[in-house]
């Protein structure tokens, strides 16, 4: 029942790739020269990955996946967009990094990939593309070894309640069904000559956590943060710590969260 939405989103992400490759937001040239694309939060909270098998769900064109590889992880990335995966493989070859990339809907990954992993990772703007978190959590549990860790850093559901101008609440906190929007540009370049439809779903913290618990994972922590490491929303101001907050709502609303769970 969701195939039309998923295909539309695949098309939208394919359109974005060329713009993202050349954007200041992703700074691919800086990354090629050794700059990590990972943030202090996930580096600190996930810890040492050297020698561990890491599966990255919804990896876009693989910068974070390959940043983990530079830290010694044995990485596999998965993404819906064939253009993203094509470029991820190109980056891996160019930089001499050992990585495997799979192109498919995250729900279909157990039919496309074999093996178990020490870590399953996902981050920033990912779960809103998924209509149902129950099969998502099942995929995570499927790929984790016993004792394996799931880690995610994600934008807070409160942020997704706002309209595009970050002026008023427009959307429900809970998953009330599909949200269809007409888009121009992209978060990495708001003036890019791109137009497309996209389809998303809001997911409360309760829905996220309960889906993981339902599939046998044990929550180790949930942290909430009043800032974003990325300047990807309207009306942001940069703080002395280098992070971004919504002007007039600085340190009032949560903007992102992280969680870590283990498979007993």
> Going from the N-terminus, what domains does the chain have, and what CATH number goes with each?
3-262 (3.40.50.150)
Q: Whose CA is closest to 160, among 18, 44, 257, 37?
A: 257
| Angle (nearest 5°) at CA 54 between 83 and 70 | 80
Give the per-residue pLDDT at 1. 76
Q: Report strand pairing: 144-155 vs 74-79.
A: unpaired
Buried b (16+ CB within 10 A) or exposed e, 226-257: bbbbbebbeebeeeeeebbbbeeeeeebbbbb
Confidence of residue 233 (pLDDT cuts 50, 70, 90): very high
Residue range 65-114, pLDDT digits in tens: 999 999 999 999 999 999 999 999 999 999 999 999 999 999 999 999 99
Confidence of residue 2 (pLDDT cuts 50, 70, 90): confident
The predicted model scores a pTM of 0.97
Confidence of residue 177 (pLDDT cuts 50, 70, 90): very high
């Amino acid at each position: 029942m969701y195939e039309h939405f998923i295909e539309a989103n695949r098309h939208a992400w394919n359109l974005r790739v060329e713009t993202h490759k050349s954007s200041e937001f992703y700074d691919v040239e800086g990354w090629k020269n050794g700059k990590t694309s990972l943030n202090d939060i996930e580096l600190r909270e996930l810890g040492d990955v050297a020698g561990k098998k890491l599966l990255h769900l919804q990896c876009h064109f693989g910068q974070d996946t390959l940043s983990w590889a530079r830290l010694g992880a044995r990485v596999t990335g998965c993404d819906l967009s064939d253009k993203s995966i094509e470029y991820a493989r190109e980056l891996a070859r160019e930089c001499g990094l050992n990585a495997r990339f799979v192109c498919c809907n995250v729900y279909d990954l157990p039919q496309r990939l074999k093996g178990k992993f020490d870590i399953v990772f996902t981050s920033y703007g990912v779960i809103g593309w998924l209509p149902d978190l129950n099969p998502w959590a099942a995929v995570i549990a499927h790929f984790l070894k016993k004792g394996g860790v799931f880690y995610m850093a994600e934008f807070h559901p409160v942020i997704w309640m706002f309209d595009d101008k970050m002026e008023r609440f427009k959307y429900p906190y809970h998953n009330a069904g599909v949200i269809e929007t007409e888009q121009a540009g992209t978060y990495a370049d708001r003036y890019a000559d791109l137009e497309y439809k996209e389809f998303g779903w809001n997911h409360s913290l309760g829905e996220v956590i309960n889906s993981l618990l339902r599939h046998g994972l044990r929550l180790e922590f949930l942290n909430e943060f009043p800032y974003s490491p990325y300047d990807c929303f309207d009306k942001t101001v940069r703080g002395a710590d280098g992070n971004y907050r919504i002007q007039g709502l600085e340190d009032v609303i949560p903007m992102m969260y992280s969680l870590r769970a283990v498979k007993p």
